[in-house]
């Protein structure tokens, strides 16, 4: 499908367009956080507490943003984070992969994605595959082997999830199936957002709610509901399990969901390539601080022994620069590109990535830095108590 010809100047504008276009239930799923939403709000608001120390003369005529992460060269330090079933657009993750390919950056594909990994890798060879610990080791090993054969360049395991899916404002859960009763329930929302429904109609109908990347050979692809049930009943992994998974994969390996320096050290100990400082976008344990607040303590704990990513609350290129100045190698974005996808399909995602790229360049210029690799904490004004006592305590 050709991308809708729509342009916007900020991620905030993409969000407004997404809200106008999506059915209420779909939009609410994008903005929801656990319980009161304390963490999701702090993820965004914490960036505003950080200031800059700008320069005004002898500024660099050109700025470099290229970096290397998970064994891949990328044009700028923004990666597309894996997110579950992307029902905001019929093309879903494939459209996102094409946009990321055009921007020369990586995309993470969720094991709960709506499109199979083979299609996504074909659209962007710089795809890493994200796993939850679902099922026993034998079933997980089969999914790992499929990702390897498909050409995934890295494997990520997400650990920041405690099945706390309650929302104080009542965001509707994913339905078990799209039967007549369910369709009748959500029909009024579809009537109010006909363009979204028509887009799906042109692509064969509404999403079928299966998760093709959690299937194993010889079995039909599970529905989202059934896959979630298998995940819910799977014993939680130990660090020994994660070490086994890293060995089973044998390549670039990311541990996603780090919010404690001690866990960052454990990831180093098992030989992980990278960690993502993340609180699952505010969808895990509400009251957890913003991931940007924890980032300095994690960086101090692990030094240069592992690549550190930051995930959560990125809305501007200046936010990216703040994370890099605090020690991140790159950042991951989630809601920002989903709003772009909802607003303008593949072109909307490309629009968001372009906004962030330009914002990084403008901020580097203002700071007098010629490269993202030159950024340090001296470029920031960090208020006392910003990290809220989260310093690493050596054993």
Which sequence positions are flagged as catalytic?
A: 280
Tokens of 128: 């890493």
283 phi and psi angles, rounded to 5 deg: -105, 25
Please answer whether residues 92 and 119 qualify as being in contact, where contact means their C-beta atoms are separated by less than 8 angstroms: no
Output phi, psi for 306, to 5 deg.
-155, 150
Distance, in Å, from the CA atom of 239 to the CA atom of 300, rounded to the nearest integer, reads 22
**C-alpha to C-alpha distance for 172 and 166, rounded to whole angstroms:** 10
Residue 388 dihedral angles phi and psi, to the nearest 5°: 55, 50
Token pair of 81 as six digits: 């984070």
DSSP state letters, 279-337: -GGGTSSTTPPPHHHHHHHHHHHHTTSSEEEEES---SHHHHHHHHHTT-SEEEESHHH
Give the Cα separation of 368 and 55 in Å (integer). Answer: 6
For residues 221 and 212, give the distance between their C-alpha atoms in angstroms, rounded to a whole number: 5
In the chain the first and final C-alpha atoms are separated, in Å, by: 55
What is the pairing mode between strands 67-69 and 72-74?
antiparallel
Q: Region of 257 please: left (phi>0), alpha (psi -120 to 50) or beta.
A: left
DSSP alpha helix (H) spans, the chain: 11-21, 24-31, 38-45, 92-102, 117-123, 137-150, 180-192, 194-202, 224-232, 239-249, 261-269, 291-302, 317-325, 335-367
Q: For 80, list phi and psi in degrees, rounded to 5.
A: -85, 120
Q: Which of 103, 27, 84, 67 is nearest to 349 (CA)?
A: 103
């Amino acid at each position: 499908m050709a991308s809708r010809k729509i342009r916007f100047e900020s991620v905030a504008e993409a969000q407004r367009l997404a809200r106008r276009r999506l059915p209420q239930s779909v939009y609410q799923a994008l903005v929801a956080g656990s319980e009161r939403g304390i963490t999701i709000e702090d993820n965004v608001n914490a960036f505003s507490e950080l200031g800059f120390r700008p320069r005004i003369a002898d500024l660099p005529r050109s700025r470099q943003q290229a970096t290397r992460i998970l064994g891949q060269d990328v044009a700028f330090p923004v990666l597309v984070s894996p997110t579950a079933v992307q029902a905001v657009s019929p093309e879903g993750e494939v459209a996102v992969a094409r946009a990321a390919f055009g921007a020369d950056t990586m995309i993470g594909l969720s094991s709960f994605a709506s499109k199979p990994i083979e299609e996504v890798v074909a659209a962007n060879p710089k795809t890493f595959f994200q796993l939850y610990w679902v099922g026993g080791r034998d079933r997980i090993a089969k999914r790992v082997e499929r990702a390897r054969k498909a050409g995934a360049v890295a494997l990520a395991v997400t650990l920041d999830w405690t099945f706390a899916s309650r929302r104080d404002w009542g965001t509707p859960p994913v339905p078990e199936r799209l039967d007549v009763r369910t369709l009748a329930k959500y029909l009024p929302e579809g009537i109010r957002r006909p363009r979204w429904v028509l887009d799906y109609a042109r692509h064969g109908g509404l999403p079928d709610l299966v998760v093709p990347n959690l299937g194993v050979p010889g079995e039909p692809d599970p529905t989202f509901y059934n896959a979630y049930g298998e995940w819910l009943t799977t014993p939680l992994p130990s660090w020994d399990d994660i070490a086994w998974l890293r060995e089973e994969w044998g390549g670039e390996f990311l541990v996603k969901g780090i919010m404690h320096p001690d866990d960052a050290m454990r990831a180093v100990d098992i030989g992980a390539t990278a960690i993502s400082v993340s609180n699952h976008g505010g969808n895990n344990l509400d009251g957890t601080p913003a991931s940007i607040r924890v980032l300095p303590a994690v960086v101090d704990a692990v030094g240069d022994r592992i690549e550190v990513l930051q995930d959560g609350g990125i809305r501007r290129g200046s936010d990216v620069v703040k994370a890099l100045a605090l020690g991140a190698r790159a950042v991951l974005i989630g809601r920002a590109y989903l709003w772009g996808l909802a607003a303008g399909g593949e072109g909307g995602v490309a629009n968001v990535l372009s906004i962030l790229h330009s914002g990084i360049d403008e901020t580097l210029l203002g700071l007098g830095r010629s490269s993202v690799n030159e950024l340090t904490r001296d470029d920031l004004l960090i208020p006392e108590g910003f990290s809220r006592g989260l310093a690493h305590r050596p054993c």
